């Protein structure tokens, strides 16, 4: 709480957002080894760098790591990012996660929608059957990433050839 307040100093233009979120954003809500905590989570929240640049959809290694994990994910990125991943064929857990936030243009409102979604997952537990299904989804995403990686040299050559003409 003290750190949250300290980070707010000098950013009074965000008072409304600060007041909305001050009791909802834990800086650390775990103890132990971070790698094990990541493995044990019930949902992944990926925060991409360009979440507030309209029309700029860019993916980092963070999303590609999360797509390979056997758990649902939420992506705080530019509007339409989930749709792009979906079009490439990635399983973005549409049947489990309401990605309505992906259509919200205002970054603060999108953030609030994501926090509300995360609140609804606090008490989630999974059955062994669900966990096995989650592993299949992750494997499907891994195979797609492998295919895209193998196809990259050909696609790059096509782009370079088009630039020469």
Determine the Cα–Cα distance for residues 25 and 74; give it in Å rounded to an integer: 16
- The predicted structure's pLDDT at residue 151: 95
Q: What is the pLDDT of residue 25?
A: 66
- DSSP for the chain reads -HHHHHHHTT-GGGHHHHHHHTTT--S----S-HHHHHHH-SSEEEE-TTSSSTT-----HHHHHHHTSSS-EEEESSTTHHHHHHHHT----TTTS-GGGGG--SHHHHHHHHHHHHHTTTT----HHHHHHHHHHHHHHHHHHHHHHHHHHHHHHHHHHHHH-
CB 12 within 8 A of CB 5: no
Q: Mean pLDDT of residues grouped by 10 in the chain (165 residues)?
A: 78 80 68 76 88 85 94 94 97 95 91 90 86 96 96 93 91
What is the per-residue pLDDT for 17?
79
């Amino acid at each position: 709480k003290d750190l949250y307040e300290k980070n707010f100093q000098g950013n009074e233009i965000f008072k409304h957002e600060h007041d909305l979120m001050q009791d909802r954003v834990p800086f650390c809500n775990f103890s132990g080894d971070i790698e094990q905590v990541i493995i044990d989570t019930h949902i992944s929240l990926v925060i991409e760098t360009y979440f507030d640049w309209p029309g700029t959809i860019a993916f980092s290694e963070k999303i590609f790591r999360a797509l390979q994990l056997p758990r649902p994910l939420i992506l705080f990125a530019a509007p339409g990012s989930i749709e792009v991943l979906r079009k490439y064929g990635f399983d973005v857990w549409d049947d489990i996660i309401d990605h309505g936030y992906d259509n919200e243009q205002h970054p603060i409102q999108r953030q609030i929608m994501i926090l509300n979604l995360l609140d609804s997952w606090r008490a989630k537990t999974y059955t062994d059957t669900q966990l096995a299904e989650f592993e299949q989804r992750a494997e499907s995403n891994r195979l797609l990433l492998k295919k895209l990686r193998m196809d990259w040299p050909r696609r790059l050559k096509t782009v370079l050839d088009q630039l020469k003409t």
